[in-house]
Amino acid sequence: MSTIEFSLVPMTKEYAQEIFAWRYDAPYDFYNPSGREADFVAAFLNPEYRYYAVLNADGSLIAYRCFGEDARVPGGDYTADALDMGGGLRPDLTGRGLGPQVMRAAMEFARGAFAPRAFRTTVAAWNARALRACMKVGYQPTAAFKNPAGIRFVVLMRASPDSLDGASL
């Protein structure tokens, strides 16, 4: 598969509204936005949560990424020094192998913007597709837990970007 160029840009109200309208088929409907659109948009625009839109070469919104505390799942152990990253891919693009490419672009962006010691992500344990994508970019499972709703999650870490050669990203 060829590498696609992506750009990460600050989240806008328009991008957040578009993401709120995304709907995934079962079992991925677990990730469908819920609640009031205004609350969802406000969270995505909160600068403390550091949400970014991921655009492809033609400027279309294809994904979003979050850097920091809002990428954490309640119930997990986040004491290790790492940058938490989360996000989502537009529903019509899932299952096509784009996830690892988007994650690599996000890591490269985060390396310049936040200079993290390591990367961490949290994925629902049943989501084998997302877990495979994470492992393709160097994440390794480090812990598992159940959130307050009883859903099992896996915490994955990736080595410090300083210890990796450029080809790894």
The pLDDT tens digits for 58-79 are: 999 999 999 999 999 999 999 9
pLDDT band at 4 (very low <50, low <70, confident <90, very high): confident
Report the CATH architecture of 7-168: 3-Layer(aba) Sandwich (3.40)
The pLDDT tens digits for 6-18 are: 999 999 999 999 9
Give the pTM.
Answer: 0.90
Strands across the sheet containing 83-89: 7-10, 51-55, 61-67, 83-89, 119-124, 152-158, 140-146
Look at residue 166 and tell me whether its pLDDT is greater than 90. Answer: no
141 or 2, higher pLDDT: 141
Domain residue ranges in the chain: 7-168
